[in-house]
Amino acid sequence: MLEAKHENDLTDQQLVNTVLSGNTNAFRTIIKKTERLVAQIVFKMVNNPEDRKDIAQDIYFKAFKNLSGFKFQAKLSTWIARIAYNSCLNYLEKRKLICFPAIDETDEDLERIANKAIAWPDYEIDVFIFQQELSKILKAEIESLPPLYKTLITLYHNEELSYVEIMEITGLPEGTLKNYLSRARKTLRVNLLHKYKREAL
């Protein structure tokens, strides 16, 4: 019977229905299932630790309040991640903080700068970057990127979300998403190559 089924084993629809039927404790399970993804977004877009706590609370308050409107057209985690992303955007906009990177250079310019910095094939750099993502150097350089860039890199490479899932979270068109993600990688590569010698990498 459904009542006997552990909350962690419930589908998104069963879990939502359990909460809406009056078992508000089941919402704790929703939080546990989604808090990692929400934290990744909040920590990449918001720098102030105290503000992060407030935003996280607000995200789950909004999710609980609007749970009856969830139509199961996406994963529950994706829907809550969208709330998190929009909440962080609102936070940045209210404080007039920059989320979207300024486009000062074309893709060709970034590629030329990277190639001029060091003759190292792209695929080798990408392998280094994304297989060594736990290194202090890489983590520091990712954190130095604009909020949108580091959020997209985290969602795609760390959380291994698909383009479709990231589009659902951010509301970005596929072409724009791929362009931003490509520029994020190239910017990260350029920063690494300019700041560190090949031997240091």
- Judge whether 102 lies within some domain: no
pTM higher than 0.75: yes
**Residue 193's pLDDT band (cuts 50, 70, 90):** confident
User: Is 192 within 8 Å of 137 (Cβ atoms)?
Assistant: yes
User: Which pLDDT score, from 0 to 100, does residue 114 have?
Assistant: 46
Q: Rounded to the nearest 10 degrees, how much is the dihedral formed by the CA atoms of 170, 174, 175, 180? A: 40
Query: For the ranges 31-35, 78-82, 110-114, which has the lowest average pLDDT?
Result: 110-114
Instruction: Give residue 52's domain range.
Output: 2-94
Q: Are residues 88 and 111 in the same domain?
A: no
- Judge whether 100 lies within some domain: no
User: Which pLDDT score, from 0 to 100, does residue 15 have?
Assistant: 93
User: Is 70 within 8 Å of 79 (Cβ atoms)?
Assistant: yes
